[in-house]
Structure 1
Amino acid sequence: MANEEQIVKEETINEEVNQQEDVIVESEQEASIEKDDLTIANEKIADLEAKLAESENRTFRLQADFENYKRRIRLDQEAATKYRAQSLVTDILPALDNFERALKIEAIDDSAKSLMQGMEMVYRSLTEALANEGVEAIESVGKPFDPHLHQAVMQVEEADAEPNVVLEEFQKGYKLKDRVIRPTMVKVNQS
């Protein structure tokens, strides 16, 4: 019987060892599953963080593009307001030129003199209205030639004049604020 008791004890011990081994295997499997879940979760977190960074970068770019767009629109509106009279001024300049040519004619009789006085008044009114809009004539004669302000239609060599200086003005040029509407047609000393 002592043998049988010992066998029963050994079997009980073996069963307990087997149970403990099963528990260890199960806990190892659970740990392995938890490790796999943790690895998957970490990969998902890294993927989501990358997507978030990309989304934030795209958002910053869109915000910068929108700010640039607003700035361009504001500058365009300011330019449109500043130069709103440009097309009208461009259309009026030939009439102004014709007035200047007509005013150079000398009146012989009284009716022609009164007509010239009326034309001078209209001419003055036009020039004042243009000046109120920011239009000014470009001064040229005696000044250095500037290709931004002048259009050289003739070059001559005069020894008594400085080189690259405007000698004569053929047609007046005009600026609207800081923009050249029409360059002055000039004769320039070449030497």
Structure 2
Amino acid sequence: MQNNDPHAPDPAQDGAADSAIQAELDALGVQLATMEAELAQARETVLREKAEIENQRRRMQRDVDQARRFANEKLLAELLPVYDGIALGLTNEAADAKTLREGLQMSLDQLKKVTEANGLTMVDPLHQPFNPEHHQAISSVESNEHAPNTVVAVVQKGFVLNDRLLRPALVAVVRDH
């Protein structure tokens, strides 16, 4: 008996449709496997990159710590001869005041040379206008010889390190009349 119903499914067509669906499912399965492999590779790459960044951060921190610990090494090595000169002068018990003074002057000159080579400059503002950025007035005096706000005495010299004030000069200034 033959089914003449035009709406009835054709077994041959059902098999072809099932084959097409199966082929599409197989293709999607292959595509899914490829995507999962790419995702696993991407995860592995991210983990490796993250580990490399962490290693770089640790190396950088170690380098910064080393730089801090030994930042003054060059300066201190340059100061050792000054130290040696002063220590040697103090061991000379037979030296008179003039000899000690000359030795101290040589040590001071050597110290100035080292500090200037490392960016330290002295602020000695005697007879210059008062500058509140580099000077600290500790007294004011009357004077007919100097203009107001002129430094007439330096109690303690100031210092600038590479254009940054390290210590202001302590000064006496002529007050306004």
TM-score by length of 2: 0.52
The root-mean-square deviation of aligned C-alpha atoms, in Å, is: 4.9
1:172 equivalenced with 2:153 (yes/no): no
- Structure 1 residues 172 and 58 mapped into 2: Cα distance closer, same or farther (>3 Å)? same
Q: Deviations over 1:153-189 (max 9, x none)?
A: 1234656534543221112345677676654321134
Task: Give the corresponding residue for 1:101.
Answer: none
1:72 CA displacement: 4.8
- How many residue pairs were aligned? 154
Is the aligned partner of 1:121 residue 2:102?
yes
1:185 aligns with 2:170: yes
The share of aligned pairs that are identical, in percent, is 20
- Secondary structure of the structure 2 residue equivalent to 1:142: coil
Match of 1:21 in 2: 13
The alpha carbon displacement at 1:55 in A equals 5.4
Q: Which of residues 118, 121, 136 is equivalent to 1:151?
A: 136
- Kept in 2, the 8 Å contact 1:172–1:183? The answer is yes
Match of residue 6 from structure 2: none
Contact 1:173 1:181 in 2 (8 A): yes
Which deviates further from its counterpart, 116-125 or 143-152?
Answer: 143-152
Q: Unpaired runs of 5+ in structure 1?
A: 1-6, 12-16, 96-113
Q: Distance in 1 between matches of 2:141 and 2:99?
A: 38
* Matching residue of 1:40: 32
CA distance in 1, matches of 2:151, 2:129: 6
- Asked whether 1:139 is paired with 2:124, we answer yes
Q: Is the 8 A contact 2:124 2:154 kept in 1?
A: no
Q: Runs of 5+ in structure 2 lacking a partner?
A: 4-9, 87-94
Separation of aligned partners in 1, 2:79 and 2:161: 11
**Structure 1 pair 80–189 and aligned structure 2 pair: CA distance change class (3 A):** same
Give the counterpart letter for 1:142 in structure 2: H
Q: Does the C-alpha gap of structure 1 residues 177 and 32 become closer, same or farther in structure 2, counting only changes over 3 Å?
A: closer
> Considering only CA atoms, is the larger Rg found in Structure 1 or Structure 2?
1
Q: CA deviation at 1:130?
A: 0.9
More helix by share: 1
